[in-house]
Each structure stands twice: as structure tokens, then as C-alpha cells.
Amino acid sequence: MIIRNGLPADFPRLQDIEVDAGGPFRAYGLDFIADMPPPPLEALQTYLGRCWVAEDDVVKGYLLADSVGGCAHIAQVSVDQRFRGQRIGQRLIDHVELWARENGLEALTLTTYRHLPWNAPYYARIGFRVIEATPALAPLVEREANIGLDPADRVCMRREF
């Protein structure tokens, strides 16, 4: 499997992966997340250069990153359900860490659900720790709250390198 920069030709596949990745949220009463539309092609276009895909014969997962407060912020990481358990998400995260180092960023950050097993508990296993929202992350947390993500259920996390 290779990790490479995502291209516009990949974007429809990324949308399919995003729809697929929403399914498990239903088991936790988060149907509204499962029902959210995938990011529009125009939004994905803004991530060129900050979008990576994991593929061999097919794109199996992807990661979108931003630079927020001097850190590489993982805006989204999703894996096709058929390929879960193959460490694809971790490989994408490790890859973005290399990008962050090369670009002089100091750590990785993300926001996620505290109680879902493939969210905060997973990220803790791969080196992230829960932090308070920094001034740079606070607007992201507020934006999430505005779309219905309960801040009481969410955490900010950081991984040093």
C-alpha cells in the first residue's frame, strides 16, 4: 500500500469513503453524523497539497490536514469499512506527521468524540493525549458545535513528535 497526495480524480472516491465511514455512528445514536453529506468536491479541492490517500488496487482511506496554531491539524481521516483493522488510518497519520515536520509544524492535533472506540481511545493508543482547546482550536470546536456536535462529547487531542 502506498500513501500519496490526493488528486481531484480521487475526490468522488473520497466522498464514497466518507459516506461509508458514517455508518458505525448509528450504533451510538449519532444518526445525524451518518446522514451528513460528504464534503463537496469544491471543499475537497481546497485541500490539494494537504490531502493524502492510502491505496493499492483501490483508494482505501484518506486524510485531510490544515495548519492550525503551528500544528498539523487532522481535519478528517476516514477509512473504507471493508479495510478497517489494517492500520490504514495510523499509516495516514504517520505520513502527515512527516509532512508536518518538513513544514516546521510542532505537533499533530485533532478533535474527536471522547467515547467512540475508533475516536479518542484509538487516537490515545497511537500517541495522542487529550488537551484543553487552545486559542487556535477554539474556533474549530465552536464550528463543530454549530453543526450539532455536542462539545461535552468531544475532545481536542495532540500528538508530539
User: What whole-number distance in Å separates Cα of residue 79 and Cα of residue 92?
Assistant: 10
Residue from 66, 92, 87 nearest 77 by CA:
92
* Model confidence pTM above 0.85: yes
What's the chain's average pLDDT? 97
Domain residues of the chain, as ranges?
2-160
Using alpha carbons only, give the angle 117, 122, 124 rounded to the nearest 5 degrees: 125
Band (39; pLDDT cuts 50, 70, 90): very high
Give the model's pLDDT for residue 88: 97
Band (48; pLDDT cuts 50, 70, 90): very high
Alpha carbon of residue 11 to chain centroid:
15
Give the model's pLDDT for residue 42: 97
Band (153; pLDDT cuts 50, 70, 90): very high
Using alpha carbons only, give the angle 83, 107, 112 rounded to the nearest 5 degrees: 50
Overall average pLDDT of the 44-49 stretch: 98
Fold for 2-160, please state it.
Answer: Aminopeptidase (3.40.630)
Overall average pLDDT of the 52-67 stretch: 97
pLDDT in tens, 6-38: 999 999 999 999 999 999 999 999 999 999 999
Give the model's pLDDT for residue 105: 98
Band (66; pLDDT cuts 50, 70, 90): very high
Is 73 within 8 Å of 144 (Cβ atoms)? no
pLDDT in tens, 90-135: 999 999 999 999 999 999 999 999 999 999 999 999 999 999 999 9
User: What whole-number distance in Å separates Cα of residue 92 and Cα of residue 60?
Assistant: 11
